[in-house]
Amino acid sequence: MERQHVLGVHGIRQGRTSQRELTKDWTEALERGVGGLRSTADSQDRPPAVPAVEVPHWTALLAQKTGSLSGGDLVPTDLTPFTADEEAFVSQALDDLLTSEERAYAARTDPTTLGLPKLWPASVTRIAMAYDRRKPGGAVAKLIGALREVHLYLTRSDLAAQVRAHVTEAASEHTSVLIGHSLGSVIAYDLIRRGEIAAPGAAGAALHTFVTCGSPLAIPTVRRGLAVPDGEAMALPPHIRWVNVFDPGDVITGGAGLAAAAPAVLDVHVDNGRIDPHAATRYLRTVPVARAVTGTWT
């Protein structure tokens, strides 16, 4: 069976690793998934090959020592005050996920009595507490952190262009599968949408499969940030198959797949366990991802 070549786009918070370590971790996780796939009855006659993997370390662009953007403080933390734009984006994104009953609870909640980070604006804190009732245990803080990171990519066009260029430099004429995890799924979709990868004459022209894992693209506010209006479907060129793998317990996905926003996508549920279901390696070691990256769908 022909060996596939995977280009991975990681999420943020990878400043303490390297391209070599990321590629190693992703390769080992995919090897585990392919191993599980090989044990299934339908793959005995034609065992799939472990793909070649390359994961460019785009968060290196944020390190002050590179001189690229001179901004280790670009990535917001719980100690970073919200800007007005961030507050509006995060509040709207969280509101996208609430039920009408949860919105009513948020409206009557006094944020001064709550124990969440004091630098969160009242509008964010109210909605966060409503969502926290559904997903307790600190999940909402992780979601808010991820949304702030997405907002950074969507609103800093200079940074976004450098990130996309860094990723496409790692693509080759052999690149056949693109995987995006977390914010990386937003970046990867943006690359395809702009024709900067997988288009005739562009990098990765051989690309035939797009895999998203733990993607926040299910949240309408995120799609609006990519200039995808409400009611308009996300789409890929017809020759690219889109597989979205998500754990309903992964708070970054909003607990939902992408089929409602992208009719051509194949949504696949997985169970990554209760400890950090959003982790990239947990997604990459699943059999559905192994099927996607080896072209062994039945």
- DSSP codes of every residue in 71-131: -TT-S--TTSPPPHHHHHHHHHHHHHH--HHHHHHHHT--GGG--S-TTS-HHHHHHHHHH
pLDDT of residue 149: 92
- On the question of pLDDT at 30 being above 90, the answer is yes
- Tell me how far apart the alpha carbons of residues 80 and 269 are, in angstroms, rounded to a whole number: 34
The reported pLDDT for the residue numbered 61 is 81
pLDDT tens track for 51-109: 999 999 998 887 644 444 434 457 787 778 899 999 999 999 999 999 999 999 999 88
Q: Which residues sit opposite 210 in a β-bridge?
A: 178, 242
3-state secondary structure 25-83: HHHHHHHHHHHHHHCCHHHCCCCCCCCEEECCCHHHHHCHHHCCCCCCCCCCCCCCCCC
212-271 per-position pLDDT tens digit: 999 999 999 999 999 999 889 999 999 999 999 999 999 999 989 999 999 899 999 999
Banded pLDDT at 41 (limits 50, 70, 90) = low
Amino acid at 169: E
Reported pTM: 0.92
Q: Which domains does the chain have, with CATH numbers?
A: 5-67+157-294 (3.40.50), 84-154 (no CATH)
Sheet holding 52-54, edge to edge: 52-54, 5-9, 177-181, 209-213, 241-246, 266-269
Q: Measuring CA to CA, which residue among 243, 242, 203, 182 is closest to residue 7?
A: 203
